[in-house]
Chains A and B, each alone.
With several copies, the nearest count.
Chain A
């Protein structure tokens, strides 16, 4: 493969600095690739008015950002800490009205991203009709399928994020990122204007040089900046690398159950001298 200009940034803070206040930010769920070290840097730089898009749902990343006051709105199929239960900051922010909520459902998020990927204003989707989600989403439309009679169908608008932020196992000097079967990260990258990525490690070789590896790679064409972040998803896991740190997640869930507990947790987390790699 031809070499492209290198894109490896110096730090997670440098990546966080590229995410402007008010940006529409697409994030992965806890089972996929979470760039937790950049989330910390975003909170450290006191980011404001972020509009989060969960692809298709959100977990710890969102709960931290919401608790830290960085978030104006959330569009997702769900926000939760998975086995650790509800996302406490999210729940409080919804109940207090501190964030604007765009409740969705998984395939709508995927279809909205695919619409952005294809550069079309909308995509149709089966099902969903009759759900109260439709009533509360004035940006969705129901039309009669023009290819049939009396066949209502939902149209969902393209979801164009300013930034897709995620973590992956490997990157190379050109900015190619190996994501393996976690193709929702590729969809995010295609659909977003810019993509910022942290990786566990930098590969020596060009990730596109070997077809076997290339099949799981997002080419640098879509990647705007890359930073090295070993254990960058912690305390959530990274497929093939490390499992979620359930003890750390449980500690978070317990602390964040009350606002004061969350505040103490955040202070400690931001003050950690080193990322626990």
Chain B
């Protein structure tokens, strides 16, 4: 798969995860989730509200940067995307660093709002393009946001699943384990197993992530890209609307 086709596949795949939502919020510096949210909004005929941090157009908040978090706690946000420098088999996220704390040899910016939104947004979709053993680890070095909580904790939200550049996993909150449900076109199961640092379940029927329809591709390359250009100009113009390279296998 070329980069562009994979990007389109991921946008489509993430958008599918928003079915039935009334309101999805997207954090800063998240072009693929933002594109997915806009695609899902177009497919919903405007019923899905999209709030994109960093956007002036797709952001109605008027009460300062606390409003997103208050809004989530009020139950007015149905879905959010989170990633992490490390994600482990219990869906714990690490956005802080690797190799000891606080003087981490590998240090990332910090936890942002993950520790909170992960607990309060009902459908948190984990997304990380890189699918490798250094990202998908058995146990994160630092828990920025915990994948699961004791049953008596107040936790209306949590992880729904994980989508990477290679595959899609569903997360079972009661078991605290991922199940591999989809491999992306052209990715072998053995490749996924080798690239995943944590143990996971295998769905009874391992599906292939459906490639976006021609209509979906047209939406991504047309109105979604046009809408996204204000927030992610490089991404929108260079990736989404660039004339496609010849695709030997029809897609990839």
Listed in ascending order, the chain A residues whose CB lies under 8 Å from chain B are 1-5, 29, 31-32, 55-57, 76-80, 82-83, 86-87, 91, 94-97, 101, 103-108, 110, 114, 116-120, 125-133, 136, 150-153, 176, 181-187, 190, 208, 214-222, 239
Instruction: Supply 6 further A-B pairs (C-beta < 8 A) apart from A126-B120, A130-B149, A186-B62.
Output: A86-B107, A101-B102, A107-B69, A127-B115, A127-B116, A129-B149
Q: How far is the CA of A139 from the CA of B67 in the complex (A)?
A: 25
Q: Which residues of A contact B58 (CB under 8 A)?
A: 2
Indicate if B203 sits at the interface (CB-CB under 8 A): no
Q: How far is the CA of A10 from the CA of B249 in the complex (A)?
A: 56
Write the chain A residue with the least CB distance to B146: A130
Q: How far is the CA of A129 from the CA of B117 in the complex (A)?
A: 12
Q: Which one of B23, B103, B118, B152 contacts A96 once the chains associate, using CB atoms below 8 Å?
A: B103
Q: Encode B46-68 as 1/0 by CB contact (under 8 A) with A.
A: 11011000101110111111110
Contact check, B103 vs A132: say whether CB atoms are below 8 A apart. no
Among B42-92, those with CB < 8 Å from A are 46-47, 49-50, 54, 56-58, 60-67, 69-76
Write the chain A residue with the least CB distance to B114: A105
Q: Which residues of A contact B120 (CB under 8 A)?
A: 119, 126-127
Indicate if B209 sits at the interface (CB-CB under 8 A): no
Contact check, B111 vs A82: say whether CB atoms are below 8 A apart. no
Contact check, B111 vs A1: say whether CB atoms are below 8 A apart. no
Given A103-B110, A184-B65, A219-B61, A119 and B73 contact (CB-CB distance below 8 Å):
yes
Among B26-44, those with CB < 8 Å from A are 28-29
Pick from B61, B108, B109 the residue with the most CB of A within 10 Å.
Answer: B109
Contact check, A107 vs B113: say whether CB atoms are below 8 A apart. yes
Q: Which residues of A contact B28 (CB under 8 A)?
A: 31, 82
Given A4-B46, A103-B96, A104-B111, A128 and B64 contact (CB-CB distance below 8 Å):
no
Report how many A-B pairs have Cβ atoms within 8 Å.
Answer: 187
Contact check, A5 vs B61: say whether CB atoms are below 8 A apart. no
Which of B137-145, B178-186, B193-201, B210-218 contacts its partner? B137-145
Given A57-B112, A126-B119, A136-B102, A94 and B107 contact (CB-CB distance below 8 Å):
yes
Q: Which residues of B contact A221 (CB under 8 A)?
A: 23, 49, 60, 71, 76
Q: Which residues of A contact B101 (CB under 8 A)?
A: 132, 136
Nearest first, the 6 A-B pairs at minimum CB distance are: A119-B73, A183-B64, A130-B146, A78-B110, A127-B119, A80-B109
Contact check, A106 vs B70: say whether CB atoms are below 8 A apart. no
Given A3-B46, A131-B143, A184-B64, A103 and B153 contact (CB-CB distance below 8 Å):
no
Q: Which residues of A contact B145 (CB under 8 A)?
A: 130-131
Write the chain B residue with the least CB distance to A86: B109
Q: Which residues of B contact A104 (CB under 8 A)?
A: 110-111
Write the chain A residue with the least CB distance to B143: A132
Q: Which residues of A contact B105 (CB under 8 A)?
A: 95
Write the chain B residue with the least CB distance to A102: B102
Contact check, B113 vs A105: say whether CB atoms are below 8 A apart. yes
Contact check, A97 vs B153: say whether CB atoms are below 8 A apart. no
Contact check, B29 vs A82: say whether CB atoms are below 8 A apart. yes
Q: Which one of B54, B61, B73, B103 contacts A94 once the chains associate, using CB atoms below 8 Å?
A: B103
Indicate if B237 sits at the interface (CB-CB under 8 A): no
Q: Which one of A55, A126, A131, A187 contacts B111 once the chains associate, using CB atoms below 8 Å?
A: A131
Q: How far is the CA of A31 from the CA of B146 in the complex (A)?
A: 28
Write the chain A residue with the least CB distance to B108: A86
Q: Which residues of A contact B72 (CB under 8 A)?
A: 119
Q: Which one of A110, A131, A176 contacts B146 once the chains associate, using CB atoms below 8 Å?
A: A131
Indicate if B104 sits at the interface (CB-CB under 8 A): yes
Q: How far is the CA of A152 from the CA of B104 in the complex (A)?
A: 30
Q: Which residues of A contact B149 (CB under 8 A)?
A: 129-130
Write the chain A residue with the least CB distance to B113: A106
Contact check, A114 vs B146: say whether CB atoms are below 8 A apart. no
Write the chain B residue with the least CB distance to A136: B101
Pick from B61, B111, B149, B152 the residue with the most CB of A within 10 Å.
Answer: B111
Indicate if B247 sits at the interface (CB-CB under 8 A): no
Q: Which residues of B contact A96 (CB under 8 A)?
A: 103
Contact check, A190 vs B62: say whether CB atoms are below 8 A apart. no
Q: Which residues of B contact A32 (CB under 8 A)?
A: 65
Write the chain B residue with the least CB distance to A119: B73
Q: How far is the CA of A215 from the CA of B63 in the complex (A)?
A: 8
Q: Which residues of B contact A87 (CB under 8 A)?
A: 109
Contact check, A218 vs B62: say whether CB atoms are below 8 A apart. yes
Contact check, B146 vs A107: say whether CB atoms are below 8 A apart. no
Q: How far is the CA of A83 from the CA of B69 in the complex (A)?
A: 22
Q: Which residues of B contact A219 (CB under 8 A)?
A: 60-62
Q: Which residues of A contact B119 (CB under 8 A)?
A: 126-129
Contact check, A77 vs B62: say whether CB atoms are below 8 A apart. no
Given A5-B47, A183-B63, A219-B61, A133 and B107 contact (CB-CB distance below 8 Å):
no
Q: Which one of A136, A150, A187, A218 contacts B66 once the chains associate, using CB atoms below 8 Å?
A: A187
Contact check, B116 vs A126: say whether CB atoms are below 8 A apart. yes
